[in-house]
Amino acid sequence: MQVVLTFFTQTTGWHKPLPDLDSPQTLVLVFGEPDGKPYQHTLDELRRKYPTSVIVGCSTVAGIFNEKVLENALVVGVIRFKTSRVSLAIAELRDQSDSQRAGHQIAETLNAPDLKGILILTDGLNTHGTELLRGMSTYINPQQVNVVGGLASDAMQFKSTWVLCDGVPASHRVCGIGFYGKNMVFAGQAKDGFKPFGPERLITRADDRTLYEIDHRPALELYKEYLGEHANDLPASALHYPLAIWQDDKRHYAVRVPVAVNEADNSLSFVADIPTGYRTQFMYGNTDDLVDSAEAAARNLIRHLPPNTPILALTISCAVRKLTMGDDTDQELETVLDTLPPGSQQFGFYTFGELAPTEQGGACAHQNATMTLTVLYEGS
């Protein structure tokens, strides 16, 4: 497996020249700022340079390039596999109600006996992540196939996102990249770093992304009670106090971060679904906790690989984490890179939601405020 990472800015051009690695077994990943128009000539250059490769990507508030957070840039990773292969599936999303159908279409197209993993990149404003994964579950066994991915983001304006499918940027799209072959290692895991506190409770009334009652009490009222003096800073302080939700097994929880409060009906609003009947528990976290969880994810994933073997880490992190850590965001990326074997590389983007399991072998779920770390490695 050959990997070359580079980036492009309008002022400096290419950080490193594009390598001559075009082939049907080459994957070109591109993550760039929400306004892609100034970069159209660069995307055209990629299509000319890699005519037989799979070219995919999405918009992001910032790209991840090794230990650095890059804004106002296109971050590009060129990966050519030796014996493994990649395949692309694309589905249209007219709106969120299309998500389950799109997931079913993606999984049906990519499904094969030697499928090891699927990377999902999808419109950040027109995707219902849980329904997308529900559609995929018809064909995908999480014990055999790892599914990871993310919802494209913009500059926290929630106006427009794009997905690059076969080199062409567009909204209302979801693309899935399948990774195949007996030598292919594709393992992903989401870690959040938040600590639970208080008793486990029941979501007694919710409607899609709006939470009205927990244990038959007004959700906002109970939330403020637990936040104490931090409730005065809502909704900004909610970044540090998400909820864990789960259906049957707490080990397979998903993270939800409130993004708005409604004083009139005492409700909380989220960017992902909050199902009635799920269990929930309050959580809190700080930069140190979040960094520690990123290190734990890296250690968990590399322990199953040959020692001292350089790998590519595809890092998909929530835009909420970037907001929460602020100037300390680089710490998380530095910690991951320091934990990986010498010579490893890290590459990725910030999302409006992550698609990943919280433990290896678990079912993929729509997450908020997590870092999803995926190891790509091709054995001999």
pTM (two decimals)? 0.93
Do residues 9 and 73 touch, judged by C-beta distance below 8 A? yes
Do residues 64 and 74 touch, judged by C-beta distance below 8 A? no
Q: 118: closest CA among 93, 137, 98?
A: 137
User: Does 319 share its domain with 220?
Assistant: no
List phi, psi (to 5°) of 191: -130, 140
User: Does 178 share its domain with 229?
Assistant: no
Residue 338 belongs to domain spanning: 2-191+288-378
Final residue of a domain: which of 255, 283, 311? Answer: 283
Which neighbouring-strand residues pair with 207? 210
Token reading at 132: 């997308």
User: Does 164 share its domain with 305?
Assistant: yes
User: Does 128 share its domain with 39?
Assistant: yes
Cα–Cα distance for residue pair 327/43, rounded to 1 Å: 30
pLDDT at 157: 85
User: Does 199 share its domain with 271?
Assistant: yes
Cα–Cα distance for residue pair 152/24, rounded to 1 Å: 25
Write out pLDDT tens, residues 40-63. Answer: 999 999 999 999 999 999 999 999
CB atoms within 10 A of CB 275: 14
User: Does 62 share its domain with 140?
Assistant: yes
User: Does 236 share its domain with 251?
Assistant: yes
Q: Decide the pairing of beta strands 345-351 and 312-318.
A: parallel
**What pLDDT band is residue 357 in, cutting at 50, 70 and 90?**
confident
Final residue of a domain: which of 267, 283, 299? Answer: 283
Q: What is the share, in percent, of the chain residues with pLDDT greater than 90?
A: 76
pLDDT at 176: 98
User: Does 133 share its domain with 32?
Assistant: yes
Q: At what angle do helices 329-339 and 287-302 cross, to 10 degrees?
A: 20
pLDDT at 109: 97
pLDDT at 142: 81
User: Does 186 share its domain with 200?
Assistant: no
CA 314 from chain centre, in angstroms, equals 10
User: Does 187 share its domain with 199?
Assistant: no
pLDDT at 307: 83
Final residue of a domain: which of 283, 303, 325? Answer: 283
In this predicted structure, the answer to whether residue 187 has a pLDDT above a threshold of 80 is: yes
How many domains does the structure of the chain reveal?
A: 2
Q: Measure Cα distances from 333 to 38, 79, 223 in Å.
A: 28, 21, 31
In this predicted structure, the answer to whether residue 359 has a pLDDT above a threshold of 80 is: no
Q: Measure Cα distances from 136 to 36, 95, 120, 224, 282 in Å.
A: 29, 17, 11, 37, 29
Write out pLDDT tens, residues 250-298. Answer: 888 899 999 899 999 999 999 899 999 999 999 998 889 889 999 988 9
User: Does 210 share its domain with 324?
Assistant: no
User: Does 9 share its domain with 91?
Assistant: yes
Coil, strand or helix at 103: helix
